[in-house]
Amino acid sequence: MDFFPKKSALRANFPILGHFRYFFETVRPELRQYFWGDDNDELPFSRNQRSMVYKRAKSEMVARPLGSIKDMYKEDFTWLNHSLRPIQVAADDFPNLVGQGDNSYHISLLNISGASFGSLSPPAIEALNTGAFLGKFAHKSVEGSLSKYHEAGNGDLIWQISTGYFGCRTPEGRLDRAVFAEKASSDRVKMIEIKLSQGAKPSHRGMLLASKVTREIAVVRGIPEGQDCASGQCPTGIATMDPKRYRVVDVAMKAHRVWNFHHHTIRAVAEMIGAAGVAHPKALNRRHIVRRLSGSEILLADQIYPRVEPSALLRGEIVADQRLAVYWSKMSGASFQPTA
Check pLDDT > 80 for residue 224: no
pLDDT given at position 42 = 62
pLDDT given at position 236 = 67
Confidence of residue 234 (pLDDT cuts 50, 70, 90): low
Higher-confidence residue of 211 and 256: namely 256
Confidence of residue 230 (pLDDT cuts 50, 70, 90): very low
pLDDT digits (tens, 9 = 90+) for 130-185: 999 999 999 998 776 788 888 899 999 999 888 778 888 898 888 999 999 999 99
pLDDT given at position 12 = 66
**Sequence-ordered strand ranges (E) for 24-165:** 78-80, 96-98, 105-107, 138-140, 156-161
pLDDT given at position 217 = 60
pLDDT digits (tens, 9 = 90+) for 27-61: 777 676 666 666 666 666 777 788 889 899 999 87
Q: Which sign does the torsion angle of CA 78, 81, 87, 92 carry?
A: negative
Check pLDDT > 90 for residue 216: no
Count how many residues are written for the chain: 340
Distance CA 186, CA 93 (A): 24
Higher-confidence residue of 202 and 294: namely 294
Average of per-residue pLDDT values in the chain: 81
Strand partners, 229: 208
In the chain, what percentage of residues exceed pLDDT 90? Answer: 35
Distance CA 222, CA 117 (A): 13
Mean pLDDT computed over 213-226:
58
The three-class DSSP label of residue 192 is strand
Check pLDDT > 90 for residue 19: no
> 263 to each of 56, 86, 93, how far by Cα in Å?
8, 22, 9
Prediction pTM value: 0.77
Q: Select from 139, 154, 136, 155 the least CA-distant residue to 92.
A: 136
156-161 β-sheet, strand order: 138-140, 156-161, 189-194
Helices (H), the chain: 9-13, 15-26, 28-31, 47-57, 122-135, 148-152, 177-184, 215-221, 243-246, 251-275, 301-304, 322-328
Mean pLDDT computed over 14-25:
76
Higher-confidence residue of 8 and 84: namely 84
Confidence of residue 311 (pLDDT cuts 50, 70, 90): confident
pLDDT given at position 26 = 79
Mean pLDDT computed over 184-210:
72
pLDDT given at position 167 = 84
pLDDT given at position 272 = 93
- Per-residue three-class SS string for 306-324: CCCCCCCCCCCCCCCCHHH
pLDDT given at position 48 = 79
Confidence of residue 334 (pLDDT cuts 50, 70, 90): confident
Confidence of residue 257 (pLDDT cuts 50, 70, 90): very high
- Can you say how many angstroms the Cα of residue 15 is from the centroid of all Cα atoms in its chain? 44
Distance CA 96, CA 137 (A): 11
Most confident of 15-24, 100-109, 230-239: 100-109
Higher-confidence residue of 113 and 220: namely 113
Min mean pLDDT across 59-68, 178-187, 263-272, 300-309 is at 59-68
Mean pLDDT computed over 276-288:
93
Return all residues near 257 (Cβ < 8 A) that are at least 6 apart: 57, 58, 131
Distance CA 142, CA 221 (A): 12
Q: Are 328 and 318 in contact (CB under 8 A)?
A: yes
pLDDT given at position 3 = 47
DSSP per position, 250-280: -HHHHHHHHHHHHHHHHHHHHHHHHHTT-SS
